[in-house]
Chain A
């Protein structure tokens, strides 16, 4: 007996466990949001650690923060915000079936991501040659020598983990670029772009918090 639940109109982009494209889209979006919640808790542990130690050692954290390159952090914040714009516009292009624009916007988003990583790499290099990497070669104002290492440990792990997520984001965008290039993305099936966009914006949001918390502590007391 023919199964009425297997719709006659079953496009190739519809996975077998779903009844219709709307269910598939809702499931994918919900799935990505649940994953982003895990990321909130993941970075959250780091923010908690930051909060505990900054609360305990405000001057050491301010001293550490003064060594940050504010221009690099500010420029990087603007770079990421711009990449979020281009990502949102890319989703729009996918929704409206504008394949050429979609491809261009994905490329721009990725270039901005690479720019971010480039500036970050430069910052890491600067911190390395200034002996601000915690551990054996660390050098700092003796008043804050111990606790500034906590600041820098947090700085490297928080921005390092963030950068790792950026790199993964670039990987995801490459896949999106490939899917768009091959014409898999259509107004009826643009969900991968939307869902990748959610991930990208989340990585931007983490940076939106990292910027003031790491770069701008006690700047009014120069």
Chain B
């Protein structure tokens, strides 16, 4: 019925025009687009810093920028990418848009809080932009003390404050999702009928709520020490700099699961849709999401193996770090098993999903290398670690984000993107990514330290390969920006369910009406019920 309707007359994009209708909206879908615009802005800012870094590293002498400037470049790249792009990316855009739709609700539990969370994010972003343009920060995104409290002469407090403020945005988003998923599921939508993307968003929200407050207090203590000379971490007063690291990494390790769990959720959705099969081992994947969230809080000390923590604590953290890899592996196996004997369609979302599976596996396996203390003492603070986390963050999380953006683009915009260009871009991104970061594994193994603006000449070839890859990767990211924006005006109109996928979001029009559904759905089928002919699968 709705499956052949093109351009529904009333939908959320034409339900009110003008700046006020957007800046004062309560509609989770519009708020998702507000977030989409701002995180895309920050992505390209963080990307600009990356370009500068790779340009400097193309030559061994470090002659493009001074060492102080280089410190600022990698710091701001990290801060912007982690706090203002990766952490909000999928939850605040795809999560905000699709949690109510997938659950069969009219909106999130607290729409005004949702809008507030965007304004808070923007406010934090402004503080950080101020820090950026007024001289930058050079402490590393990790803000280690005593450099950040005593020695750095850069804009530490504004940057820390910016992150502190944006943290509240995360907390409110997570809070909203938790309450929505617990209390607003449509009739018949039991926990185990929920799409796996919702399980991922729920697990991510647990981390938002339990972890973010701790980095908030950490940044507050750093600011207090810097502003009022309250020496919490000052060794001269008996303070311990490693305590700051405990507090910092208690959040920042689970934060990496905030960055990857939503992408895993997207991959589950895409793999099911493009293999036309339920995800293999649904409940295992669901529980694995929760397990990652929980276990992810028990491993933070693996960032401190050489910082001065006790070797006994290090051993405990090491074994727990091996354990946290298990639920991720379960997911990879289950996605692969889903593809087995599936009717696979190789559209762009599926290309990104497969890219995720492969690159996340490499990133995850190398995580085991660094989880082993004996190996870590050699590769810590080298490019091995840099490559490891970029494989997960870029090869994993960003690919998941791109896949989700493409998969759900017709639903969000009512338009189809250019599939040919999209495939080209996906290929360029995959190629550029691997050329950028694979050489860095070798560089790290050979001993090149991270956060250095100059290096011994014998490392130059690998660095040049990496920089070449980065320029390709940069081009790769610009292409989707172009064709996605172009499709908003000139793209082919999309039906309600262009992929023929199963899910409540595909039963409503593209784009959806403001209230999401003409009637509250009543769910009587499982999450990926592809047995029945799919024309929305409405009961």
Interfacial residues, chain A to chain B (CB-CB below 8 A): 1, 3-5, 15-18, 23, 26-27, 30-31, 34-35, 37-39, 41-46, 48-49, 52-53, 56-57, 60, 134-136, 146-147, 149-150, 153-154, 156-157, 161
Contact = CB atoms under 8 A, between A and B. Distances in A.
Contacts, number: 120
A157 B222 CA distance: 12
Main secondary structure of the interface of A (DSSP, over half): helix
Contact of B107 (A17, A134, A161): A17
B218 A157 contact: no
Contacts of A157: 220-221, 224, 230
A157 B231 CA distance: 11
Given A3-B520, A31-B109, A31-B179, A135 B228 contact: yes
Interface of B: 100, 105-111, 171, 174-176, 178-179, 182-184, 209-214, 216-218, 220-221, 224, 228-232, 236-240, 243, 246-247, 250, 515, 518-520
Contact of B237 (A4, A44, A149, A161): A149
29 contacts: A1-B519, A5-B519, A5-B520, A17-B106, A17-B109, A18-B184, A23-B183, A30-B183, A34-B174, A34-B178, A34-B209, A38-B171, A38-B210, A41-B211, A42-B214, A45-B217, A45-B218, A45-B221, A48-B246, A49-B247, A56-B238, A134-B230, A135-B229, A147-B237, A150-B231, A150-B239, A156-B230, A157-B224, A157-B230
Contacts of A4: 519-520
Contact of B110 (A31, A45, A60): A31
Contact of B238 (A46, A150, A154): A150
B105 A17 contact: yes
Contacts of B520: 3-5
Given A39-B213, A153-B230, 18 more contacts: A3-B520, A16-B106, A16-B107, A17-B106, A23-B183, A30-B178, A37-B209, A41-B214, A42-B214, A45-B213, A45-B217, A45-B218, A49-B232, A52-B240, A134-B228, A147-B238, A150-B239, A161-B220
Given A34-B209, A57-B238, A134-B228, A46 B217 contact: yes
Contacts of A146: 236-238
B243 A52 contact: yes
Given A5-B520, A17-B109, A149 B209 contact: no
A91 B175 CA distance: 24
B512 to A, nearest CB: 14
A165 to B, nearest CB: 13
A192 B239 CA distance: 43
Contact of A44 (B107, B111, B214, B232): B214
B46 to A, nearest CB: 27
B189 to A, nearest CB: 13
A53 to B, nearest CB: 7
B309 to A, nearest CB: 12
Nearest to A146: B237
B213 A38 contact: yes
Contact of B184 (A16, A27, A45): A27
Contacts of A3: 518-520
Contacts of A15: 111
Contacts of A38: 171, 175, 209-210, 212-213
Given A34-B179, A134-B231, A147-B237, A45 B209 contact: no
Given A146-B236, A149-B231, A17 B111 contact: yes
Given A38-B213, A49-B243, A134 B229 contact: yes
B232 A150 contact: yes
A53 B233 CA distance: 10
B25 to A, nearest CB: 13
A206 B88 CA distance: 30
B24 to A, nearest CB: 16
A16 B516 CA distance: 12
B239 A17 contact: no
Given A34-B209, A44-B214, A134-B230, A23 B237 contact: no
Contacts of B184: 17-18, 23, 27
Contacts of A48: 246-247
Contacts of A39: 213
Q: Which 7 A-B pairs have the closest CB atoms?
A: A5-B520, A45-B217, A153-B230, A42-B213, A135-B229, A17-B107, A41-B213
A150 B220 CA distance: 15
A5 B187 CA distance: 10
B104 to A, nearest CB: 10
A150 B235 CA distance: 11
A15 B109 CA distance: 9
Contacts of A45: 213-214, 217-218, 221, 247, 250
Given A135-B229, A135-B230, A156-B230, A42 B216 contact: yes
A23 B109 CA distance: 10
A129 B78 CA distance: 43
Contacts of B100: 17
Contacts of B218: 45
Contacts of A31: 109-110, 175-176, 179
